Amino acid sequence: MIANPRRPEQIRAMFARIAHRYDLMNRLMTGGMDLRWRRHTIRACALPPDARVLDVGAGTGDLAAEALRQHPAAFVVGCDFTLPMMLRGREKPGRDRIRWVGGDALRLPFPDGEFDAVVSGFVMRNVADLDLAFREQARVTRPGGRVACLEAIRLPPRWWTPFYRFYFHRVVPWIGAIVAGDRAAYTYLPQSVEDFFTLEELAQAMIRAGLILLETRAFLFGAVGLVVGVRP
Ligand SMILES: C[S@@+](CC[C@H](N)C(=O)[O-])C[C@H]1O[C@@H](n2cnc3c(N)ncnc32)[C@H](O)[C@@H]1O
C-alpha cells in the first residue's frame, strides 16, 4: 500500500483553490502533450461504441471528454470529490454530456461491474490508499472490462535527471505562482511525484487489485506512465 501523507481534506482544498487555472497549467507544464496521453489512455480501453465509462478523480473532465470525443454514443461518468473542479469542467463546451457525480475514489458510489472501463488521470498519487482505490476501480468494472491509469511517475536516475528536477522543482512552482497564484500546490506536485511509484511498481499495484496487466507505456522519457489492466 502507498499512502499519501496529506489528508483528503487538504487535497480537496488544494484542488478547489487551483480549479480556475487547472487546465491552463496542464497545457503550459506539458506543452499540450497531456492531450496526446489522454487520447492514448482512452484508446487503450478498446471501448465499444456505446460503452459505459467512469473517469475517477475526473477533475475538470479532460479524460471523460476525450472518451466522448472518440465514442460520441458512450455513457460517460466523471466522479470527483472536489466540487469546484467539476463545476469548472462543466462550463466547458460539450461537457454537459458528462454525468458529473460527487464521490470518493476510495468508496465509489456505483454497483459492482457497472462500467466497461474505468480511467483515471493524475489521481492515484493523491489518494490516501492506492491499493484500495485500484480495488474499487476493479470492483465497478465488468468482467472483461479495462482499468487504465495515467499518472506522473517516479523516474529512475538518468543523466538528464538534474535538468528534469530543475524544471519540475524550480520552474513549475514558479509558473504555478504566476499563473494559478498558488506556489504551494505546484510545489506539492513534484514532491508527490518523487514520493510516488515507478511504472513497474504502479503495474504491480494494479495486479495486487486482482487485475490482469495488459499494457504499460511510458511517455515523456518515462516521466508519465500509462498502466492498463483487465478485470478477469
Ligand atoms: C491532478 S487532478 C486530475 C484531474 C483529471 N483527472 C485530469 O486528468 O486532469 C486530481 C483530481 O483527483 C481528485 N481526487 C483526489 N483524491 C480523490 C479521491 N479520494 N476521491 C475523488 N477524487 C479525488 C481531485 O479532486 C482532483 O480533481
CA dist 8 and 156 (Å) reads 28
Please give the distance, rounded to the nearest whole angstrom, from the Cα atom of residue 57 to the centre of ligand 1: 3
H or E element at residue 111? none
Task: Quick: pLDDT tens for 73-132.
Answer: 999 999 999 999 999 999 999 999 999 999 999 999 999 999 999 999 999 999 999 999
Which residue type, as a one-letter code, is found at position 222? Answer: G
Judge whether 57 and 80 are in contact, CB under 8 Å.
yes
- pTM equals 0.95
Nearest CA owner, ligand 1 atom 8:
121
**Dihedral sign, Cα of residue 40, residue 42, residue 46, residue 48:** negative
Domain with 141, as residue range(s), is: 8-155+196-230
Span from the CA of 58 to the centroid of ligand 1 (angstroms) = 6
Q: Is residue 191 part of a domain?
A: no
Q: Count up the domains in the chain and report the number.
A: 1
Residue 184: inside a domain, yes or no? no
**Is residue 226 one of the residues assigned to a domain?**
yes
DSSP code of residue 112: T
